[in-house]
Amino acid sequence: MGDVQTAEKVKLKVLHAGSLTEPMKELEKIFEERNPEVDVQLEAAGSAKTIRKVTELDREADVVASADYSLIPHMMYPKYANWTIRFASNQIVIAYLDDSKYSNEINQDNWYEILRRGDVKFGFSNPNDDPCGYRSQMVIQLAELYYNDSSIYDDLVASNSNLKFVEKDGNYILEMPESENINPNTEKLMIRSMEVELIYGIEEGEIDYYFIYRSVAKQHNHKFVELPDEIDLSNESFSDKYSKIKVILANGKEVSAKPIIYGITIPKNAPNKEYAEKFVKLVVSKEGREVFEKLGQPPVKAFADFPENLPESLKDI
Amino acid sequence: MKLSTIFALLSSILVLFVILPVFSTFTTQFSDLNGLVQTFQDYDVWRTILFTAYAAFLSTLFAVLFGTPLAYTLARTEFPGKNVVSGVVDLPVIIPHVVAGIALLSVFGSKGMIGSISPVKFVDALPGIVVAMLFVSAPFYINTAREGFQSINPRFEQVARTLGATQFKVFFTVTIPLTWRHIAAGALMSWARAISEFGAIVIIAYYPMVASTLIYDRFLNSGLQASRPISILLILFSLSVFITIRVLLWNGRKNESS
């Protein structure tokens, strides 16, 4: 009996960025409780890959959510979508555990002094492979400007690897070497390809601190130092400040620092528009916002770039 | 149809199955000879490959040092629990290599049973790479050497013993010379297996970077076109070492029999 029902259910395909996995799972539960005739099918991948599933692989999707809202207009307009709602943010934090060295001392004002100490080890992911990795470099470089201490990046990263920011007309550019050439001093730095690989590094006690998204730290019950808005890539009103920092990846791609803001849209070819709208509505509702808050992805005021293109049912957000 | 014809047919399917992907890797590269030449001249790529070969060499040394007595014991003596020990030897072949990496980390990591008391650092260091390589490649050596020991008649050893030679002397002057080809072949297999390891190594040591990590990393951030020439370089390098040693062994055999 149950099987028959499952077979007849409407399948709502939600393609989303990997870092949205936990909140999306909760929203799926809430949504299915309320709409028992719907089976929400979540599919996680990197943001760019998620969008390419629709634009290049011609996959039918009802909802697309990206960790970088700007990818939706950039990659999907005008053929596959024509609006984006920004709904949540994230930020880079320095996560740690109780038995990390000096964990009782570290705070927003002294974290770079603590990381400088000879017996402290910390980690970040490979900027060539992972956005969290290049964002971590941006944060550390922004710290130099914010704390007015021009040797933070040098002491923490440059003197322990081949990574180095060069100033040019008030902008700071990090030209990434090829990965085999990063040459980290592994007595001080732990680098892994992807940010989630650092989790075992901290849990096995290899490192004391690591640069990570707030949501990941929270979902793994790691403690974390929240950094000032001016440097942690969370706040849109500091976009201009952030944009002074640039990383050129080894594959030639250039990325400028910008706030980490999630965006969501319904592709034009969505098979179940009505439920898709309901789902997006749940994401931006008070209830949805609470889910994101709880899981460490602070919601931002829902904001649509082209409100006139929104479906009727979403116009009142 | 004759049995031999059927066998030849079936065999060639498997041979083709192995050869095709390698062949296609090479032929696809022909359209980008420039990329291949550039990679051949890339000092850092060579450094990574030679470093990997060196780590694999160390791993093989350990495999021979500790694996030879084990292989000999398994070949020559009966003892309770021998089947269990044989099973343990094959264990690394059975478990996924990522799992092996995690298991090794829990022993050799900073808080691990050995890592916490060892003056040598394993995580993100050469010793970590060597233990990961040793774990996955030791069975290849032990099993080949064991076959070698099993293939010689124990009577040779008994005769030497009755002539008054000590056990040590018999082992080094009778047993080893009779099995050295198996030992060399096993060591070579073990070395090659160590060079090609990725899953276990990347968990315990992303840096210093080994060749397979480099290839995967290049694939991840620059795509197939950028990682292919490095793969070819690694294949050519490993293959030339492999063939050189094989030819030396084969020639040795020919000279002996003539």
Burial A221-233 (b: 16+ CB within 10 A, else e): ebbbbebebbbbb
Domains of chain A: 2-89+260-314 (3.40.190.10), 92-256 (3.40.190.10)
> Are A200 and B102 within 8 A, CB to CB?
yes
B105 neighbourhood in chain A, CB within 8 Å: 200, 204
Q: In this complex, is the C-beta atom of A287 within 8 Å of any C-beta atom belonging to chain B? A: no
The CATH number assigned to the domain holding B249 equals 1.10.3720.10
Q: In this complex, is the C-beta atom of A192 within 8 Å of any C-beta atom belonging to chain B? A: yes
- Residue A78: pLDDT above 60? yes
> Are A251 and B221 within 8 A, CB to CB?
yes
Q: In this complex, is the C-beta atom of A48 within 8 Å of any C-beta atom belonging to chain B? A: no
Give the chain A residue whose CA is nearest to the CA of B209.
Answer: A180
**Contact in structure between A238 and A164 (CB atoms under 8 Å):** no
Mean pLDDT of A131-142: 96
Decide if B21 is inside a domain: no
* Complex confidence, ipTM: 0.81
d(CA A63, CA A97): 36
Decide if B153 is inside a domain: yes
Those of residues 198-217 in B touching chain A at CB distance below 8 A are 202-203, 206-209, 214, 217
**Contact in structure between A12 and A279 (CB atoms under 8 Å):** yes
Express each pLDDT in A179-197 by its tens digit: 999 999 999 999 999 888 8
Q: Which amino acid is at A56?
A: E
A129 neighbourhood in chain B, CB within 8 Å: 217, 220-221
Q: H helices of chain B, where? A: 3-29, 33-40, 43-76, 82-94, 97-108, 126-151, 154-162, 167-170, 176-195, 199-204, 211-222, 224-257
Model confidence band, residue A5 (pLDDT cutoffs 50, 70, 90): low
Q: In tens digits, what is the pLDDT along chain B, a chain of 258 residues?
A: 789 999 999 999 999 999 999 999 999 998 889 999 999 999 999 999 999 999 999 999 999 999 999 999 999 999 999 999 999 999 999 999 999 999 999 999 988 999 999 999 999 999 999 999 999 999 999 999 999 999 999 898 889 889 988 989 999 999 999 999 999 999 999 999 999 999 999 999 999 999 999 999 888 878 788 899 999 999 999 999 989 988 887 776 655 544
Question: Which tokens in the block code for residue B116?
Answer: 């916490």
Q: Which SS3 state, helix, strand or coil, does residue A263 take?
A: strand
d(CA A46, CA A69): 13
> Are B110 and A206 within 8 A, CB to CB?
yes
Decide if B195 is inside a domain: yes
Domain ranges, residue B169: 35-257
Number of structural domains chain B divides into: 1
Chain CA centroid to CA A66, Å: 9
Decide if B65 is inside a domain: yes
Predicted confidence at residue A4, as pLDDT, reads 47
Q: Which SS3 state, helix, strand or coil, does residue A261 take?
A: strand
Predicted confidence at residue A49, as pLDDT, reads 82
Radius of gyration of chain A (CA): 21
Sheet holding A261-265, edge to edge: A38-45, A10-17, A63-66, A261-265, A85-89, A299-304
Predicted confidence at residue A1, as pLDDT, reads 42
Our CA-based measurement puts residue B124 at a distance from the nearest CA of chain A, in whole angstroms, of 6
In angstroms, the Cα distances linking A41 to A10, A27, A32 are 10, 11, 10
Our CA-based measurement puts residue B123 at a distance from the nearest CA of chain A, in whole angstroms, of 8
Decide if B217 is inside a domain: yes
Decide if B23 is inside a domain: no
Decide if B8 is inside a domain: no
Predicted confidence at residue A228, as pLDDT, reads 97
Q: In this complex, is the C-beta atom of B220 within 8 Å of any C-beta atom belonging to chain A? A: yes
B102 neighbourhood in chain A, CB within 8 Å: 200
Give the chain B residue whose CA is nearest to the CA of A192.
Answer: B206
Model confidence band, residue A2 (pLDDT cutoffs 50, 70, 90): very low
Decide if B27 is inside a domain: no
B209 neighbourhood in chain A, CB within 8 Å: 179-180
Low-confidence winner among A2-16, A254-268, B57-71, B218-232 (lowest mean pLDDT): A2-16
Beta bridge partners of A122: A189, A209
**Contact in structure between A41 and A11 (CB atoms under 8 Å):** yes
Express each pLDDT in A26-71 by its tens digit: 999 999 999 999 999 999 888 888 998 899 888 999 999 998 898 9
d(CA A140, CA A120): 16
